[in-house]
Structure 1
């Protein structure tokens, strides 16, 4: 189709939110240089994961300087995670409607500005607010980077390999984060872990503007806003924030009125969310997706992965710096056996998934991780680092086998024209569960200042987390197809 013909063709509504001409333009423009597009999208995910691991290493120092207890440190992590999880569904839909490449630029701008604000935060409350804005930027980035990759690689096998590369390159942030965080905190203080994002964001924005092609989207008569499920977004945000608040306050020792009130608000918000989704013209979570067994199964497993993984990283960091009194740099280096396998195995998992389907690497990763998690029964206040090593290695290998496979399983379960929504749902499941993991694991373990209680909580968390992953392995066998779709 000639360019002049496309320019004269009026935008028309379609059932997928994009016209056929739009989809053809997107594929042609992006397929001309898919490697550069893939590399640019990896930067967005790299930033988000770097921020998570850098912040975890900085938490004890940050908490001491801002006079924060464990609950305050939980909110430094969870304000980001709650905002991220609450807005991912809306961000995925906005990307489908307004252009994934455009929304990637918006996400980068928000993330960079909030990083600068966090680095200059004068108080814990200001820092928590800046972290929430960072989460908004990350919420825009994640589903849209995945959707750009999906548009660029329409073939399922090629897409699986690309998602494996995306997961692997972006996961390099995981081993880099603890080491970089330890160096920055030791040399320049905790503020540097946020300020380091700013020049990376600027470079990523320039690359995105130059390399990622714009995509023309159907405007449905020029009125997009009515297609965003605002009621659903609001009720889901309130529900998730209230649940996390209830768990953190329970761990802090708050009374029944506070915890019960938060649980009641969460329950009412969830009921309102379900009602809104049934009535919305374009719901955040279409009921039809909940009738797709493979999609639901993949996302529940993704939630279990992050609930256990992020929660374990949080309490392990507190153990290394609070119980063992290791420096931020040493603690960061000691976390490498967890993060290096995660990063190294993701590209291999992408290739295995492309050949055998997502089920085998998912089941293998969950079983290996469960074995490692049982080893959390062993550490005490004076044990050597070698006692903790099996748990770190098992979790790292398990998540390395899981990450690319569980993303591919979710994306393969829906039509390509819903890629933004699918990415949003998958990342929402992961980030919401990660926020709950930090809240629950932190509440069970408590403060490392109370050594015996903290270690008792750690010894409970290990086998319980292993059981969660074994249940996820059984769910994978029951719901995820054995072979890749053709």
Structure 2
């Protein structure tokens, strides 16, 4: 196994973190820009959902193939390709003259993000061998995302107020150039698996299946559930979903080997990740609409209003990376999910009274709970598979999380589709209650199915050293 200097490891970790930062930065900053985009393009709630979900949809649909592509071509090569495409897409978003072109540019961003995320985790899995060192690296990787989520609304609000909404996309250009230079300079050449199949049939079927579900959930806000378009989209989702499972089960080189789901840790983490992101990104979109359209906050104040929910994520991500291997994935994830469920329930009194002060502490609890969960299930997933399956495993986990985010934005967007304050708040209450129920379900899954803590290399060496002394 090739060893790497401490300096090289730090730069590799920094490059991986920057890749995750830009991916999540464009989640948080776009939500702060919803009011500005609505005014610029005279956009409906459904249009705003597509600005968010066009990115997330492509991201989710291509993650599995991106994971396999990273295994086939090498994590470093795919990481740099993803960074380049994402940066190009960001520039196109910043220059978009119309809403349809902005949505197309968001699709390009999603393609780059899909290549970036699993490749960044594969780089970490490749160079950090010890369980505790890898857990800390994953914790910092997740913390980078937490910093992006926390700082994104504030930075985005400031940029929108000072320069305009286009600046929130163009800020990715210098980040992308720096990340590309670091990866090219310090990341080692990654091992390749030239025989790894890309499973084009499975990829197309899976992508159209997910697109059908997104169309049904999103357009229901405009057309209603009894519209023929919604019926057709729902029917396509069911039929294509069955076809996708059938194709993957028959293909010995499937992009999603169904045998992976026999791994209890991986399958449980996948479902937990879906439920966690469904509630988190669904509620971030809902809060964005609430602050900007109901409370009529300007962009910067909207960004500051998100600080309790987002800011705590940085510290909780680091804590999860540091302590997850000590207390065990089961306990850490279950605790985080339970805290998040409690936080959403505690928001209800503040929402009914219209008091932001009463909402701020519960928002902190909800964000902190999710931040404890995500790096924990990520590290548990990487630890549960062989190094040769790190790309597909991380791709599966992150794909499930992005699918959850797509569903959350579409579903909760439907619940708060009315601009009238009373109806909006009623829908937001339902969204908070549903979030708590889903998170409690995920908590049960974590407690019952996640594995106990992983033993580090240092702990393994202690008994050997003692036996030699004897």
Q: Same fold (TM over 0.5)?
A: yes
1 CA distance for matches of 2:5 and 2:178? Answer: 20
Aligned partner of 2:186 in structure 1 is 211
TM-score, normalised with respect to structure 2: 0.94
Equivalent in 416, 419, 424 of residue 390 of structure 2: 419
* SS of residue matched to 2:256: coil
2 CA distance for matches of 1:34 and 1:364? Answer: 31
Equivalent in 125, 134, 147 of residue 122 of structure 2: 147
Say whether the 8 Å CA contact 2:55–2:109 is kept in structure 1.
Answer: yes
Offset at residue 182 of structure 1 (A): 0.3
| Structure 1 residue 370 corresponds to structure 2 residue 341 | yes
2 CA distance for matches of 1:135 and 1:29? Answer: 32
TM-score, normalised with respect to structure 1: 0.91
Deviates more, 1:32-41 or 1:63-72: 32-41
Say whether the 8 Å CA contact 2:382–2:393 is kept in structure 1.
Answer: yes
Question: In the superposition, relative to structure 1, how do residues 430 and 30 fare at CA in structure 2: closer, same or farther (>3 Å)?
Answer: farther
Say whether the 8 Å CA contact 1:412–1:485 is kept in structure 2.
Answer: no
Aligned partner of 1:441 in structure 2 is 412
Offset at residue 158 of structure 1 (A): 1.8
What pairs up with 1:70-469 in 2 under 5 angstroms?
A: 70-220=45-195, 227-254=197-224, 255-380=226-351, 383-447=354-418, 449-469=419-439
Aligned residues: 455
Say whether the 8 Å CA contact 2:54–2:107 is kept in structure 1.
Answer: yes
After superposition, give the CA deviation of every residue in 1:248-290 in whole Å (9 maximum; x if it has no partner). 1112234421111000111121112111101223212111111
Offset at residue 166 of structure 1 (A): 1.3
* SS of residue matched to 2:137: helix
* SS of residue matched to 2:244: helix
Say whether the 8 Å CA contact 1:31–1:152 is kept in structure 2.
Answer: no
Deviates more, 1:408-417 or 1:317-326: 408-417
Measured on the aligned residues, the alpha-carbon RMSD in Å equals 1.6
Offset at residue 378 of structure 1 (A): 2.7
1 CA distance for matches of 2:150 and 2:406? Answer: 21
Say whether the 8 Å CA contact 2:350–2:357 is kept in structure 1.
Answer: no
After superposition, give the CA deviation of every residue in 1:89-124 in whole Å (9 maximum; x if it has no partner). 000000001010000110011101111111111111
Offset at residue 148 of structure 1 (A): 0.4
Say whether the 8 Å CA contact 1:376–1:458 is kept in structure 2.
Answer: no
2 CA distance for matches of 1:477 and 1:158? Answer: 25
Question: Unaligned stretches of 5+ in structure 2?
Answer: 457-470
Offset at residue 197 of structure 1 (A): 0.7
